Amino acid sequence: KMAEKQEEPSNAQNGEPDNAEEGEEKKKKKVKREDLPPFEIVTGERLPAIFFKFQFRNVEYSSGRNKTFLCYVLESQGKESVTSRGYLEDEHAAAHAEMAFFNTILPKCESSLRYNVTWYVSSSPCVTCADRITETLKKNKNLRLTIMVGRLFMWEEPEMQAALKNMKSAGCKLRIMKPQDFEYVWQNFVEQEEGEEAKSFVPWEDIQENFQYYEEKLAEIL
């Protein structure tokens, strides 16, 4: 009942392979590509609406959705609280977006301050990224991390389940995005058309059922 709907933008339009298996293979083989622009974080930059609508959709069979988009809100708590936000995607980074966050944004954080970080990610991390999250949280006692995910990635794999449990025991809060969370991302991280009133978020048909489906799965794992 939760198979893909036909009205998805075609995968080709997103530069995605049509075949999910092929996408997974490519992901494994993805080596650092020299022709990518140097990775930089542009705060205030927003992701294109078509990427959001395709990549963040909380479907069960995520055919062609083999890129991770990570939107983050970083609050530092010192004398005064400072909030910054931005988004990362795998491609800029020649690494997974989760790694890119740790390699490029976290080092700029002063170790004396406490940080509350919330990620809104299209799907939950792979095993390697999950292990890195666990490691980072154990090392940085001043870091609080909440990860809101649209979908669970390879959640049937025992290795993946173990990695998610380790993240939880290291203090990471893992949550499935509710319709309101998708709306928050839409309002705060997605490009709005120039000169138009900000378009309101239009939930897709099965957004609530899919949220409940993944929430049950996550509860079983954790």
Catalytic residues: 98
Pairing of strands 69-77, 81-89: antiparallel
Q: Quick count: other Cβ atoms within 10 Å of Cβ 180?
A: 10
Please say whether the beta carbons of 62 and 42 come within 8 A.
Answer: no
Question: Looking at this protein, which amino acid is placed at residue 151?
Answer: R
Q: Tally the C-alpha atoms within 13 A of residue 164's C-alpha that lie toward its C-beta.
A: 25
Please say whether the beta carbons of 173 and 147 come within 8 A.
Answer: yes
Which one, of 93, 102, 158, lies nearest residue 129 by Cα? Answer: 102
Please say whether the beta carbons of 14 and 54 come within 8 A.
Answer: yes
Please say whether the beta carbons of 130 and 163 come within 8 A.
Answer: yes
Please say whether the beta carbons of 96 and 130 come within 8 A.
Answer: no
Euclidean distance between CA atoms 71 and 105, whole angstroms: 12
